[in-house]
Amino acid sequence: MALEPLIPDQVLHEPAALDGSLEAALDGGIASDGASTQQALSRGQLVWRRFRRNRAGMGGIIVLGALFALAFIGPHLTQWSYEDIDPNAFLKPPSSTHWFGTTQIGQDVFAQTMRGLQKSLIIGLLVGVISTSIAAVVGATAGYFGSWVENINLFTVSLLLVLPDFLILAIISPRLHDSSWLWFVLLLSIFSWTLTALVIHSLTLSLKQREFVHAARFMGVPSRTIIARHILPNMASFLIIDATITVGAAVLLETGLSYFGFGIQPPDVSLGTLIADGTASALTFPWLFLFAGGFLVVMVLAVSVIGDALRDAVDPQSTARAS
């Protein structure tokens, strides 16, 4: 090509120098990779690469995996089940027979904690993902399409905000009494998405005006693809943080509902109910509270570290700042 030669390489690499070692590593990785395959990576592949390079994020995934393994394998390692009562051990501290001690009525705390961890892991993660997804879909469609879609969506949000959660529960719960706990997950999600949806709505309103959205529209990209490809990724930081927080909040919200007789009922347990029961004796009989509380902290921490790493992987600028 006769026109303007390629921009000299050192000029192009300048931002890499600015961004420090991480970007430089990225350049190196891509350069060697590009040479072998000569193929451009799509966003998904690129995000996964960037995520894998983040040690904390990978650590979070390993911890979360370990928690799952423990929750499902753990109960088989002990002779006690979460319902069993050991009449010879009331309120005993941790020992070789009862690894995490026992409760007032002689239940094995280890077995209970493992059972609770199973429930809470699934409830927490599912609610985090489901509620943020509902919020993203409702908020983004309201903001993007405007007119009647916006009116309906925002009316629904306002309605859910105004109606007390327990009123809805009271109406629905008799029908759900014997159905699966997955319904309960859905219910928890329905209570946690509304405020997020409002924020996403207003974020969408401003993103919609950006030229890259116009550009996609004039290319003929369908609206739902624009929302999925351009609008939501550009608020990924917010979505990820929101989902992370919801995971922890859902575990505790579940406790509140259980207290009122919805959700996890005794003798079944969750981390939430265990924590609620153990709080009163946290100082006198710490094992009742500490193990359940500790696992909740580890779980939420792992999730937020993963969320952080994901955010850095999705947002090119946030990596630059972090390094």
Partner 1 sequence: MTTPILSVRDLVVRFTSEAGPVHAVRGVNFDVFPGEVLGIVGESGSGKSVTSLATMGLLPPSAYVEGSVSLEGQEMLGLSDASLSKIRGREIAMVFQDPLSAFTPVYTIGNQIAEAVKVHNKVSKAAAMSRAVELLRLVGIPDPESRVNSFPHEFSGGMRQRAMIAMAIANNPRVIIADEPTTALDVTVQAQVLEVLAKAQDETGAAMMLITHDLGVVAGIADRVAVMYGGRIVESAPVDPLFAEPRMPYTLGLLGAIPRLDSGRTALIPIDGTPPSMVNLPAGCPFAPRCPAVIDECRTREPDLVAVISPDHLAACHRSQEISAGMIDGEPVFAHPDIPELSRTQVDRDDRAIALDVAGLVRQYPVTKGAVFRRQVGTVYAVDGVSLDVRTGEALAVVGESGCGKTSTIMEVLELRAPKSGAITVFGRSTGDLSESDRRHLRRDISVVFQDPLASLDPRLPVGDIIGEPLLTHGIPASQRHARVAELLGLVGLSPAHANRYPGEFSGGQRQRIAIARALALDPQLVVLDEPVSALDVSVQAGVLNLLMELRARLNLAYLFVAHDLSVVRHLADRVAVMYLGRIVEIGEVKEVFDHPHHPYTQALLSAVPLPDPPRERTRERIVLSGDLPSPTFAHVGCRFRSRCWLATEICETTDPQLLSTDSSRHRLDHASACHHAQERSVV
- The alpha carbon of 292 is separated from its chain's Cα centroid by a whole number of angstroms, namely 19
Q: Of residues 43, 52, 104, 163, which one binds partner 1 by CB under 8 A?
A: 43
| Minimum CB–partner distance for residue 33 and partner 1 (Å) | 8
The H-assigned helical ranges of the chain are: 9-12, 14-19, 21-37, 43-53, 55-77, 109-145, 147-162, 165-176, 181-192, 194-208, 211-219, 223-226, 236-259, 271-279, 287-314, 316-322
Comparison of 23 and 242: residue with beta carbon closer to partner 1: 23
- The residue among 130, 74, 101 whose CA lies nearest residue 242 is 130
Total residues interacting with partner 1, rule: CB under 8 A: 52
Query: Contacts with partner 1 in 211-270 (CB under 8 A)?
Result: 211-212, 214-216, 218-222, 225, 229-230, 233-234, 236
Binding piece for partner 1, criterion CB under 8 A, among 35-43, 85-93, 95-103, 134-142: 35-43
Is residue 167 near partner 1 by the rule CB under 8 A? no
Judge whether 320 and 61 are in contact, CB under 8 Å: no
Is residue 3 near partner 1 by the rule CB under 8 A? yes
Is residue 52 near partner 1 by the rule CB under 8 A? no
| Minimum CB–partner distance for residue 204 and partner 1 (Å) | 14
Print the SS3 string covering 64-101: HHHHHHHHHHHHHHCCCCCCCCCCCCCCCCCCCCCCCC
Is 124 exposed, middle or buried, given 0-12, 13-18 or 19+ CB atoms closer than 10 A? Answer: buried
Query: Contacts with partner 1 in 295-314 (CB under 8 A)?
Result: 314
Binding piece for partner 1, criterion CB under 8 A, among 126-134, 171-179, 207-215, 283-291: 207-215
- The residue among 258, 13, 239 whose CA lies nearest residue 119 is 258
- The alpha carbon of 225 is separated from its chain's Cα centroid by a whole number of angstroms, namely 23
Binding piece for partner 1, criterion CB under 8 A, among 30-38, 94-102, 242-250, 268-276: 30-38
Is residue 15 near partner 1 by the rule CB under 8 A? yes
Q: Distance between CA 103 and CA 263 in Å, rounded?
A: 22
Comparison of 52 and 210: residue with beta carbon closer to partner 1: 210
Comparison of 162 and 219: residue with beta carbon closer to partner 1: 219
Comparison of 228 and 301: residue with beta carbon closer to partner 1: 228
Comparison of 30 and 282: residue with beta carbon closer to partner 1: 30
Residues 6+ apart with CB under 8 A from 27: 13, 16
Chain positions contacting partner 1, by CB under 8 A: 1-8, 10-12, 14-20, 23, 30-31, 34, 38-43, 46, 210-212, 214-216, 218-222, 225, 229-230, 233-234, 236, 314-317, 320-321
